[in-house]
Amino acid sequence: MPMRGELSRVVARSCQPPSTAAVMWSHVRDILTNPELHCVVAFCTIGLLVMLNVMVRFPDLGELIASSAIFP
């Protein structure tokens, strides 16, 4: 196929590409500002606190559950 027109000139970039550290911090910031992540962290924290509260209030709960599993 014949060439139509002249070839375009190759021009050097005038700005530097962003550094790896800047790109990494950008990704970290995007992850930490995600509202879905905040909801998951809040839900897991509430579950952890409830579990710790049950463990402190009922220290023999595991034994009670294990003994109730014996009877069908």
The residues spanned by each domain of the chain are 33-72
* Higher-confidence position of 70 and 19: 19
Q: How many angstroms separate the CA atoms of 64 and 67, rounded?
A: 5
pLDDT of residue 13: 76
Q: pLDDT by residue (tens digit) across 26-70?
A: 999 999 999 999 999 999 999 999 999 998 998 888 888 888 877
Average pLDDT of the residues in 15-35? 91
Torsion on CA atoms 52, 58, 64, 65, rounded to nearest 10: -30
Supply the pLDDT for residue 1.
Answer: 58
- What is the pTM for the complete model shown? 0.57
Contact 54, 61 (CB under 8 A): yes
> How far is 72 from 64, CA to CA, in rounded Å?
14
**How far is residue 43's CA from residue 37's CA, in Å, rounded to a whole number?**
10
